[in-house]
Amino acid sequence: MDAGMKNTAKERMQGHCRVCPQCDGRACSGEVPGMGGLGSGSSFRANIEALARVRLAMRCLHDAAQPDTSTEILGLKLSMPVMAAPIGGVSFNMGAAPQNPVDEQAYAEAVICGSKDAGIIGCGGDGVGALIPESAFAAIRLAGGWGIPFIKPWEGDFLWQRLESACATGCSIVGMDVDAAGLVTLRLQGRPVSPKNPSELAAIARFVHEHGAKFMIKGVMTAGDAVTAAESGVDAIVVSNHGGRVLDGTPGTAEVLPGIADALEGRLPVLADGGVRSGTDVLKMLALGARAVLIGRPFSIAAIGGGREGVAAFVAGIKANLTSAMALTGCWDTASISRDILA
């Protein structure tokens, strides 16, 4: 990421994110709200550490000189298998005015439209009140429906109202971050969330399908939950521990990803997030069984520090690094990436 963009983000996010040279959760443990990990921050760090333990087998005797990073997933044609993860809450997570002139709407537009400019897709966040989701919904409409609105696992009628609003953006996929089920702060603010049993999950999937969209859930960390999702009509899952922000003491996503992918046996696409900071990290996740990868905090830094252009520039850097890593492991295209490239 450009140094100037990072410096601008550091100034604007003062008190909320240090924009560390290595975004590994060590300096921001327990800073929630903010950009840190919950409690000891061990779940955030576990994501980084799990990916760092994965080693790639370098191969230079092949003809994969110009790798093709493009992919298609759930009908989306992407320049590479990367999406911007759903993050919202500029005022309490990323730095409030006056030092940060970027408001929620500008932030959402930077992520969603900047991702579209770069040939990938961005996801929109959700929260109590209308500001966060409506900003995301507006950005997706501005992008012609090219975005994935994520909503929380709300309780009661509010769930269906927000699902209806998400579907009305013109998107082709609606997401739910089921890993937000334990956010007690939402209940204290009058909008409770809760885990969803298989019948509830199936009803939500039917509702989204009836509105002409596919349904993706984020927050799967066990093979059992993955199989339940597939049996409930979910179209794709994201292996995620919510960036280490909801439960202290979880494993890193790269640790559990292979077992989850094996358990599903290709029944639905498996995506993953958690600690991805480079194109090499993207390649590792794909080799471990993911079809695509979501990146969170770095997109927030790029959006706050460089707006729409900053997001597109960040994506270009990830793509260049991924292309190089694929060439040095003998991968012609994303379909040829497998565990064979792991050392």
CATH of the domain at 125: 3.20.20.70
CA-based nearest residue to 293, from 38, 73, 7: 73
Cβ(30)–Cβ(39) under 8 Å? yes
Domain hosting 208: range is 3-18+43-341
Residue 170 covered by a domain: yes
pLDDT at site 90 = 93
Residue 128 CA, distance from chain mean position: 20
Can you say whether the dihedral through the CA atoms of 62, 73, 48, 17 is positive or negative?
Answer: positive
d(CA 40, CA 31): 10
> What is the pLDDT, as a whole number, of residue 243?
94
56, part of any domain: yes
Q: Nearest CA to 80 among 337, 267, 342?
A: 337
Strand partners, 68: 333
- Residue owning tokens 């996929």: 173
Tally of domains in the chain? 1
pTM: 0.96
Q: Is 36 domain-assigned?
A: no
Per-residue pLDDT of 124-140, as tens digits, reads: 999 988 999 999 999 99
**Cα 128 from Cα 88, distance rounded (Å):** 11
16-61 per-position pLDDT tens digit: 999 999 999 999 999 988 999 999 999 999 999 999 999 999 999 9
Residue 91 lies in a domain: yes
Asked whether residue 26 is assigned to any structural domain, the reply reads: no
Asked whether residue 210 is domain-assigned, the answer is yes
Query: Is residue 33 assigned to a domain?
Result: no
pLDDT (tens digit per residue) in 157-181:
999 999 999 999 999 999 999 999 9
Q: Please list the residues that pair with 72 across neighbouring strands.
A: 77
What is the percent of the chain where pLDDT is above 90?
Answer: 91
Q: Please report whether residue 32 resides in a domain.
A: no
Instruction: Specify which residues 175 forms β-bridges with.
Output: 150, 216
Buried/exposed code over 62-89 (b: 16+ C-beta within 10 A; e: otherwise): eebeebbbebebbebebbbbbbbbbbbb
